[in-house]
Amino acid sequence: MKRVPIFATLLVALAVAAMLGLGVWQLQRRGEKEAALTLYAANLGKPAIPFPSPPIGDTLLFRRAHAMCVEPLGWRKQGGRSIKGLKGWRQIVECRTGAEGPGLLVDMGVSPDPGFVPHWAGGRVTGTITHAPDHRPLIASAFGGSGPKPLMLVSDMAAPGLEPTARPDLSSVPNNHLAYAVQWFLFAGVALVIYGLALRWRARA
């Protein structure tokens, strides 16, 4: 029989170990996500609070909150849908909340017209806390390498000419880590089977 190739075997062993490690990590993430979903469900029934400052972190997601937009500083657009199911462009305003502070992002409603220009002078807003639009690379978001995500308030009342944005929904927070874990374990098993067959064919050659 031919000798088992050391380098190839080591390479396969490292790859399999990495896949198993990713599978275990996904199982850990599943437990963390289940705890987070329990917290978010509880937040839905809690009374409104002042919008957090600084506006980061996940523990207040889906919590009702209120804030004062002293002055709108600028608008940005993001795809979304209204509370009536209308698909269009969410109009997100960046507000000044005082002389100091990190400011405030408020989703003020949806328009089907991508060129719509909101006219809103600011004021008191009440709504639901959610994540601000995230434009980080998918890999960075998946592994949490860029720190906590900033928060935003989805206003109950829309600005003039807009439809209120659909409130954040728990169904938008997937918990598919078990499926990912099973996939990684299957990949590890398939890699071992393929390498075992390769060694067998090599021995017969």
Q: Write out pLDDT tens, residues 148-198.
A: 788 999 999 999 999 999 998 888 787 888 999 999 999 999 999 999 888
pTM for the model: 0.74
Residue 102: CB atoms within 10 Å: 12
User: Sign of dihedral through CA atoms 178, 184, 187, 191?
Assistant: negative
Residue 146 confidence (pLDDT): 53
Q: Which of 39, 25, 120 minimizes the C-alpha distance to 74?
A: 120
Q: Which of 130, 178, 169 minimizes the C-alpha distance to 34?
A: 178
CA distances from 105 to 16, 63, 122, 128, 185 (A): 44, 15, 12, 12, 41
Q: What is the DSSP letter of 101?
A: S
Is pLDDT at 49 greater than 70 in this prediction?
Answer: yes
Q: Do the Cβ atoms of 128 and 155 come closer than 8 Å?
A: no
Q: Which of 148, 155, 57 minimizes the C-alpha distance to 106?
A: 155
Q: How confident is the model at residue 138 (pLDDT cuts 50, 70, 90)?
A: very low
User: Any idea of the CA torsion for 25, 30, 31, 35, to the nearest 10 degrees?
Assistant: 140
pLDDT tens track for 7-19: 888 999 999 999 9
Q: Which of 93, 74, 64, 73 minimizes the C-alpha distance to 167?
A: 64
